[in-house]
Amino acid sequence: MKWRSKKIATVIGLIAVLASATALASGIWSPNLTVKTIDAELNSYGTGTDVFLTFTPTAHDNRPSCTTTDGEAILSGSADHIKMMSSLLTSSLLAARPVEVHWNGCTFGGKWPVIDMVILH
């Protein structure tokens, strides 16, 4: 029975890796950036918080072509995922450490670039 459990766990692990690889392929990573501002606002539905960021240098390299011109981007994902990314980005801001962000299209009618993953350097 242990052998079957290990085999099932291995298959589930491979599916998770393939799903992650597919997610990474759908967007583009930024070059190293420094967080300039973080702004959290109650979303328009009153159901949660939207987190907006700006970067130094202004993040134009590899960034999706969205309609916003103020350099802001928005975090995307579940509430817990956004909290984790916000925590990493806040520590990056306080320590002036560079980050890379994963761009995943535009949101709200094409207005803001979406960030769905963060790497802290």
- DSSP for the chain, written as a single string: -HHHHHHHHHHHHHHHHHHHHHHHHTSEE---BEEEEEEEEE-TTSSSEEEEEEEES-S-TT----S--S--EEE-S-HHHHHHHHHHHHHHHHHT--EEEEEEEEETTTTEEEEEEEEE-
Decide if 16 is inside a domain: no
Residue 12 included in any domain: no
CATH of the domain at 70: 2.40.50.110
pLDDT, position 9: 42
Q: Which domain holds residue 32?
A: 28-120
User: For residue 4, is it within any domain?
Assistant: no
* Residue at 17 is within a domain: no
> Is residue 10 one of the residues assigned to a domain?
no
pLDDT at 17: 39
Residue 63's pLDDT band (cuts 50, 70, 90): confident
pLDDT value of position 84 = 96
Work out the pLDDT band at 10, boundaries 50, 70, 90. Answer: very low
62 lies in some domain = yes
Indicate if the pLDDT at residue 20 is higher than 50.
Answer: no
Residue 83 in any domain: the answer is: yes
Domain presence at residue 5: no
Percent of the chain predicted with pLDDT > 90 = 53
The chain-wide mean pLDDT, for the chain, equals 81
- Number of domains within the chain: 1
